[in-house]
Amino acid sequence: MKAIRRFTVRTVLPEPLRDLEELILNLRWSWHHETLDLFRAVDPALWEAVRHDPVRLLGEVSPERIGQLAADRRFLRRLRDAGDELHDYLTTDRWYQSLGGAPRAIAYFSPEYGITATLPQYSGGLGILAGDHLKTASDLGVPIIGVGLLYRHGYFTQSLSPDGWQLERYPPIDPNGLPLTLLREADGTPVRISIGLPQGHDLHAQVWLVRVGRVPQLLLDSDVEDNDQAARDITDRLYGGGGDHRLLQEMLLGIGGVRAIRAYCRITGHPAPEVFHTNEGHAGFLGLERIRELVSERGLAFGEALEATRAGTVFTTHTPVPAGIDRFPRELVRTYFGGVNEEPDVPVERILELGAEDYPGGDLTVFNMAVMGMRLAQRVNGVSLLHGEVSREMFGGLWGGFDTAEVPIGSVTNGVHAGTWVAREVLELAAREAPAVLGSEDGWDQVRQVDEEDIWAVRRTLRARLVEEARRRLRDSWRQRGASEAEVAWIDDALDPDVLTIGFARRVPSYKRLTLMMRDPDRLRALLLDPERPVQILIAGKAHPADEGGKRLIQDIVRFADGEDVRHRIVFLPDYDMSLGQSLVQGCDVWMNNPLRPLEACGTSGMKAALNGGLNLSVRDGWWDEWFDGQNGWAIPSADGLSAPDRRDDLEAAALYELIADHVATLFYDRDGGRAPRRWLEMVKHTIAGTGPKVLATRMLREYVERYYVPAADAGRAMAADDHAGARDLAAWKQRVAKAWPGVAVEHVESVGEDRMNVGARLPLRVVVALAGLDPADVAVEVAYGRVDDADALADPSYLELGGPEPLEDGRLRYVGDVPLERSGSFGYSVRVVPRHEGLATRAEMGLVALPPAPQGMADGVLR
């Protein structure tokens, strides 16, 4: 049944039940069990039938039941309590309110959001992370405004053909049947956002407002009557089409998104964002729109507006997989931002430079959205320590001349929103036995005191619930694939609530290797059917609709799992979404992950499992590389040095089978006479106590606030003060420095006393540099020193600024300083000149460096 319209809901509810509507319109319910209980109480059977969707619940509940509730004093009391509780949650001070000088508002842009399964506006990790980010911002009181698109068909619904091939459906959503409201002007007319198109007409959009606790989320929607059909279809589906379609989506998200924020702040009086956080390149055009604003409204030149914009922008890169990075033909971008659509004083050539791969190995015919994102943001980060490293390697060309370690890309390891992903039973056990952990990142050692039998009882409950849920989904899938009632009878006994349960659920790009576990089918069969220590495996995942290879992998799994000998122990559950994800991460004993290292930027599903008392069995990639400690799960050895992919898969699969048989299953079934596996539960407790607090999204968000948002706001304020004097100054300075830089040189390096080198001594240096007319204050002359490797490269050097510039003839300068000899063994040093300005966030920011003529500089300084 199609959901009824929201205004109809409003008229149906009698006065005493009005608060229900406010509760439904704030998605806080998606992580608040008491509110969900209240919805269930409206009509428990219907609540199950509408799959926990409160808007549908109200649309379908009978008028008689509504009448009963309106007269039910107990229900009304609960309703009032829930309303009061929500009001308190929305208005009382939280962590962020204790900070001084933090940004008044932060805009967060993402092409997808996973907030609840009833709002299918996500495809995978990026969207789920964005949803968790908003919810956590709400919990911590961080004043974020979320910006995205509302896709009329969301992401597809997956089912299977009789022979196991993925089928996709795009059921349309009706925004009126979702917990959204239209953003309206004070006079009630819906807000209209428009952006220019090259054909000379405009693309229009309306804006839906979603309340995620305290956080407003704005979703642009081009399906409005002012647009022709093609324009109406721009927001038809997530990551739809190629070329133009995708580019238009991203223009609407970035440019339209900034305009939607301006409208929202104008209408509501909300403070304007001081920081803009761009998730992946897709939203990158937001920087161009802010440049345009400053140029046309404040009279700044392009370069000045660029500095002002960059200072307050944070860019997060989310993938090292090239296919995950948006690249458009350069000429397409020229078409859309040039011609009649070119803004005065925002020349299309300057825009094209921002996305140009003008570094060794780059492709000059493309416009790279990640590259533009990095040039439009002064602060850039990856999403785990390892991914930070990989990103510095991958994008190092943008800062040529600097060692990879100095490439200004940091990292904030992702986290997960506990309220969304942790099973209620686990939260209740924690509230009883380890209350310190709730809402905190400290005191988690309390978990170590919890009785193992209690934990085991909860784990059994969650596993049994997952088995029930899996049977229901399996039955639906078999019926849908054409099986008769008799043919699905076996499913009543499929899976077993007491068997070691392994989960494997993820999108199906090739690097995630869905079918690695089937490398040796006989070996897998033996593990599943082991008479003493059987395992059962639950698998889920969607292949991208255009990815035939991925669909073939799914088919391989399904065909294997259809086998009569194993089908009670291995199942493929179609339509992986947040709801299935919740059941899986809560009910599985082991969460398995075998990506091709290092292509998993972070991964978050294993974190969700860990918080629920699951153990990870994973290749050391993403977050697991960082926090695997030898006792919180198992590391599948990675043969990532091997270039032969087949051989690599063979080796890693063999290691996986061995780990499962000899370690995982052995430990799980080691009952030591008792009911609960004591040593297993020791590992579970160790995982929750040690790893639990690290994987929380609250930890992640605090890091973003402290390490990225606050410094970005400070930098943005410094640029904006006094009618943007800071931005004007920095732009002029950068131009002057860049122009002079080819003449900057380290001409001579000289040290005395290299024959008496003892630890603790200091090596005096004299360095002659040419500054090509720059002022000494414009540069730093630094000595880099430390251990050298066999190729005479400085490994992880320290830097020390040289002092005393003393003018010599011809405008040259002499710098002096002492190199501290801090360690014995091979030691070396080199010297460099880098630009220096208080508006720069790092030495490497401009990508400019002058080094001594090679190899003399290093050879001189290497001592053996």
Ligand X SMILES: *Cc1c(COP(=O)(O)O)cnc(C)c1O
Which residues form the interface with ligand X (CB under 6 A)? 124-125, 128, 506, 576-578, 581, 603-605, 608
Nearer CB in complex with ligand X: 116/378: 116
Nearer CB in complex with ligand X: 124/388: 124
DSSP 662: I
Rounded to whole angstroms, the Cα distance separating 324 from 344 reads: 33
Residue 50 phi/psi, 5-degree rounding, is: -90, 15
Instruction: Give yes or no for a contact between 217 and 210, defined as CB atoms under 8 angstroms apart.
Output: yes
Type and span of the H or E element at 804: strand 803-807
**Helices 452-480 and 424-433: angle between axes, nearest 10 degrees:** 170
Nearer CB in complex with ligand X: 368/414: 414
Q: Give Cβ neighbours of residue 228 (< 8 Å, ≥ 6 apart).
A: none
Instruction: Give yes or no for a contact between 159 and 225, defined as CB atoms under 8 angstroms apart.
Output: no
Nearer CB in complex with ligand X: 26/583: 583
Shortest-Cβ-distance residue relative to ligand X: 581
Residue 112 three-state SS:
coil
Residue 218 three-state SS:
strand
Least distance CB 517 / ligand X (angstroms): 16
* Amino acid letter, residue 163: D
Least distance CB 539 / ligand X (angstroms): 13
Nearer CB in complex with ligand X: 124/154: 124
Least distance CB 602 / ligand X (angstroms): 7
Least distance CB 236 / ligand X (angstroms): 22
Nearer CB in complex with ligand X: 146/415: 415
Nearer CB in complex with ligand X: 235/605: 605
Least distance CB 134 / ligand X (angstroms): 15
Nearer CB in complex with ligand X: 303/324: 324
Q: Which of 571, 601, 595, 596 has the alpha carbon at shortest distance from 584? A: 571
Taking the CB of residue 232, how many other CB atoms lie within 10 A of it?
19
Instruction: Give yes or no for a contact between 307 and 724, defined as CB atoms under 8 angstroms apart.
Output: no
**Helices 578-587 and 452-480: angle between axes, nearest 10 degrees:** 140
Least distance CB 316 / ligand X (angstroms): 15
Nearer CB in complex with ligand X: 124/408: 124
**Tokens at 366, concatenated:** 């493309």
How many residues make up the chain in this entry? Answer: 864
CA 812, chain centre distance (Å)? 49
Least distance CB 668 / ligand X (angstroms): 22
Nearer CB in complex with ligand X: 610/767: 610
Q: Give Cβ neighbours of residue 21 (< 8 Å, ≥ 6 apart).
A: 9, 10, 13, 58
Least distance CB 173 / ligand X (angstroms): 18
* Amino acid letter, residue 485: E
**Tokens at 247, concatenated:** 């580019």
Nearer CB in complex with ligand X: 604/691: 604
Q: What is the DSSP string of 680-717?
A: HHHHHHHIIIIIGGGGBHHHHHHHIIIIIIHHHHHHHH
* Amino acid letter, residue 808: L
Nearer CB in complex with ligand X: 128/840: 128
Least distance CB 582 / ligand X (angstroms): 7
Sign of the alpha-carbon dihedral angle for 215, 235, 310, 201: negative
Rounded to whole angstroms, the Cα distance separating 130 from 110 reads: 7
Rounded to whole angstroms, the Cα distance separating 378 from 390 reads: 19
Taking the CB of residue 44, how many other CB atoms lie within 10 A of it?
10
Rounded to whole angstroms, the Cα distance separating 327 from 638 reads: 31
Rounded to whole angstroms, the Cα distance separating 199 from 208 reads: 27
Least distance CB 592 / ligand X (angstroms): 11
CB half-sphere exposure, 422, CA atoms < 13 A: 27
Burial zone of 188 (CB within 10 Å; 0-12 exposed, 13-18 middle, 19+ buried): exposed
Least distance CB 628 / ligand X (angstroms): 15
Least distance CB 308 / ligand X (angstroms): 35
DSSP 253: I
Nearer CB in complex with ligand X: 128/596: 128
Query: Which strand ranges, in their side-by-side order, compose the sheet holding 798-801?
Result: 798-801, 779-786, 828-835
Rounded to whole angstroms, the Cα distance separating 216 from 146 reads: 6
Nearer CB in complex with ligand X: 384/605: 605
Instruction: Give yes or no for a contact between 635 and 615, defined as CB atoms under 8 angstroms apart.
Output: no
Least distance CB 110 / ligand X (angstroms): 14
Type and span of the H or E element at 209: strand 202-212
Rounded to whole angstroms, the Cα distance separating 211 from 226 reads: 27
DSSP 226: T
Least distance CB 384 / ligand X (angstroms): 11
Nearer CB in complex with ligand X: 222/583: 583
Least distance CB 420 / ligand X (angstroms): 9
Phi/psi region, residue 360 (left: phi>0; alpha: psi -120 to 50; beta: rest), is beta
* Amino acid letter, residue 650: D
Instruction: Give yes or no for a contact between 565 and 529, defined as CB atoms under 8 angstroms apart.
Output: yes
Least distance CB 554 / ligand X (angstroms): 15
Nearer CB in complex with ligand X: 377/585: 585
Type and span of the H or E element at 56: helix 54-60
Nearer CB in complex with ligand X: 124/213: 124
Least distance CB 577 / ligand X (angstroms): 5
Nearer CB in complex with ligand X: 227/316: 316
Least distance CB 30 / ligand X (angstroms): 13
Rounded to whole angstroms, the Cα distance separating 159 from 477 reads: 7
